[in-house]
Structure 1
Amino acid sequence: MTIRVLLADDQEMVRDALRAVIDRRPDFEVVGAAADGAEAVARARELRPDVVVMDVRMPGTNGIEATRRLLADWPHPGPPPRVLVLTTFDLDAYVHAALRAGACGFLLKNSPPDQLAHALRVVADGEAMLAPSVTQRLIGAFTALPAGLLPGAPAPSTAAGRRLDALTARELEVLLLVARGRSNLQIAEDLGLSQPTVKSRVNRILTRLGLDNRVQAALLAHEAGLLGPAAARTHDADGAPDRP
């Protein structure tokens, strides 16, 4: 299956370079380009790509606001495109804003071409992809959270924790692994499930929580304290849940 990509960047040279890197791979097709956020939203609605590669700093409507508008007001049947934010600036404020706007990934422009191609495939498949430096900082920030919600534990007092009351114990277990950055395949191996079953459960979790993607689900789990010290103790050294 060919992954259709829309490029949004205010620099023509960057757009041309990205097009050259992406188009030379047989499983990708660049279907269009935009020079600012407003044009990116309009072109995405017109062309209906699988993935939008979105710059952050653009004149007029920036990439964060464009992502928010694109995902909040998609006029067509079926899901909107996945958004991979690609920027020069490795700033936490941009990372958090992009993920909360609904982006599925955050990558730096100095990433190797093969890493960009991998990120596009991962995001197109509905999973999350973060630059390694970003992942390390997020893990460092959130592992400092206090102990929180576990399957069967009392209801948490935080608003984020109360939202998780909508999930079953098994769904909480899946959410915990999503929050730890595990792919659907890895979750399937950890829990002894099939990959389609895991994908179905992740989609059901997103629906019940009213979220757009697994990155937002991971952030909500972090906010609820699902990855606090108590949760960490329920996992073995490989990151898989202990089995009775």
Structure 2
Amino acid sequence: MLLENKVAIVTGASRGIGRSIALLFSKEGAKISAIARTEQDLKNLKDEIESTGGKCLIFKGDVSDENDVKKSVEKTIQEFGKIDILVNNAGFGIYKPVVELTTEEFDKMVAVNFRGVFLFTKYVLPHMMRQNSGVIINISSIAGTLGVRNMAVYAATKWAVNGFTESIMHEVREYNIRVASLCPGSVDTNFSNVAGSNPPTKDKVLKPEDVAQTALLIATLPERAMLSHLILRPTNPR
């Protein structure tokens, strides 16, 4: 198994891309620490992982809450003894013109999509630096590489994640820690980052499993090699 004896934290793990990453990483031997806000979905994930012999720790919490982040990282260390992989996946978007977007909606997108990435990275990195190894995968978006009509704030948070990822990579690569941003195009989840009057054909867009497989590739490269920024697109979405 590609991730045997590894420990992975996955945020936003109860649904969509996060859930697929947690399941695939567990299948490949990783012990999973899953964080999300929906407790029943987390319990369902835990049951599915443990039914196949895997190990899963769940934590109901908000990635933008510093106390929740600290507690979940501490609980992971107490339970599993280390953290090898962090997948910052939690995020959401609101499809509105800027003039219709409320300040509260702005604050919430920034808090979940960017503050959450900052907090988990801040509290996981000291453990990775002490062990002189680790992988951080930040699930961004193709919207973090180009402007998207009616998604200005969502796109801005993903641009921020990409800039943060690139900068952190330079800070910690001397500790053999690899940091990558993974930027999917349209994914068949509850939230598609390409919306509008002419959406891609549903059966041709990316599936959460495609993103999970790409995250696994990033996490399992030889330690001397690092993918720092990757855009994943549907082959033929129309």
TM-score using structure 2 length:
0.43
Q: Normalization by structure 1: what TM-score? A: 0.42
Which protein, 1 or 2, shows the higher relative CO under an 8 Å CA cutoff with sep ≥ 6?
A: 2
